[in-house]
Structure 1
Amino acid sequence: MRRTGLSVAPLESLIEAMAGAVVDAQARIEQSQVAHLGEYFDENNRPKSVVIRMPSMQSGSQDGDEDLYRAPLLPLVPTTSLRIKDVEICFDAELGAFVDSADTDGDGEPPTTRSRWAFRAKGRKRSVALDTLARRGDGGPGKVHVTLRVEGVEPPDGVARLSNHLAMTQGVFQTFRPGD
């Protein structure tokens, strides 16, 4: 007995949607990392820093003299980036009929102009329909199980160079004697 109101989609559309979701997830990770990097700079894009008081090691310093040492925050913290390592998607679905379709731009119209970067096979395509609401053998509705693993990677070259440059700008900026 067939149910009405089935959720039927071509297999290719389902795979494209899942791949698009993974690409979007990686883009959100990257946007979050850029926003996090922005926390190390003030509203005028100057690096935030911490000032540390240390016993002076300058030539001619006396006992009790102190140096004010400024260190930008970015080189002081680890800057590990994340990226999606792999994705595993499992789902239960019932195969439907083969469907022939003409090559279109997605709105039912034949393709007009395409970027030279875009690739699509021209002509008629054959696809298989899926019922993603199919019942599993145990009587429950079809389910999707997604496993997404991320891994830490070295920071991009630009972040590493920026961090190194900021590290070179740190140092003593004032020496003073007690009572000054």
Structure 2
Amino acid sequence: MTATPLEGMIEAMAGAVVEAQARIEQAQVAHLGEYFDEDNRPKSVVIRMPSMKVGTDDGDEDLYRAPLLPLVPTTSLRIKDVEICFDAELGEFSDSGETDGDGMPDLEQSRWAFLSRSRKQSVQLDTAARHRNDQGGKVHVKLRVEGVEPTDGVARLTNHLAMTQGVFQTFRPGD
């Protein structure tokens, strides 16, 4: 039997979800960078429009510059919920009274380990358990993401960029 402590499996799954959310956030930051040039200036589009300024003649046009970021929706994603199902057989219950010399249970010291002054009890799982159809233990993961409103910082940046757009030149085509 290939036994895995239940606590370790839960910690690994929680860590995987946290890492997945971190990767989503990194991808979104990288995507935001696509709206800026190599000098961190906002990329923009220049649009030619008939001039509506007072004192212009028919046929005069305005060049209107609009930063790209405010022109596109900026919905962010986050993991809404995770459902993890797996088939396993319960193994032995273990009661580890072993300590590391200072009276503390010998626990793996990782970012997920929480120290306990009591004896460590654990249940082992056999995730390779054989089932009625002779297939090994299966894992089914359902991950749902949801769109969320942009963060305050992105909303402020987008609003500021929107305020910088406007006409920067009026001209008569052919001049």
Task: With the length of structure 2 as denominator, give the TM-score of the two structures.
Answer: 0.90
Q: Structure 1, residues 55-85: CA drift from partner, whole Å, max 9, x if none? A: 0111211111100000000000000000001
Q: State how far apart, in whole Å, the 1-side matches of 2:132 and 2:8 are.
A: 25
Question: Which SS does the other structure have where 2:78 is aligned?
Answer: strand
Q: Which residue among 60, 64, 69 is the counterpart of 2:64?
A: 69
Tell me how far apart the structure 2 counterparts of residues 177 and 68 of structure 1 sit (CA, whole Å): 11
Which of the numbers 80, 92, 97 marks the counterpart of 2:75?
80
User: How far, CA to CA, are the matches of 2:117 and 2:29 in structure 1?
Assistant: 39
Query: Which letter maps to 2:61?
Result: E
For residues 135 and 146 of structure 2, the distance between their equivalents in structure 1, rounded to whole angstroms, comes to 34
Question: 1:91 offset after TM fit, Å?
Answer: 0.5
Stretches of structure 1 lacking an aligned partner (at least 5 in a row): 1-5, 108-113
Which among 83, 92, 99 is matched to residue 97 of structure 1? 92
Within 5 Å, give how 1:1-180 maps onto structure 2.
Answer: 6-101=1-96, 102=99, 103-106=105-108, 119-180=114-175
Name the % identity.
77
Label 1:119 to 1:140 Cα distance change in 2 as closer, same or farther (>3 A).
closer
What CA distance in whole angstroms lies between the structure 1 residues aligned with 2:163 and 2:114? 47
Aligned partner letter, 1:177? R
Distance 1:120 1:149 in 2: 32
Structure 2 unmatched ranges of 5 or more: 100-104
Q: Which residue of 1 aligns with 2:102?
A: none
* Post-superposition offset of 1:120: 3.1
User: In 1, distance between residues paired with 2:52 and 2:137?
Assistant: 71
Give CA deviations for 1:67-126 in whole Å, capped at 9, x if unaligned. 00000000000000000011111101111111123433516xxxxxx99xx853333210
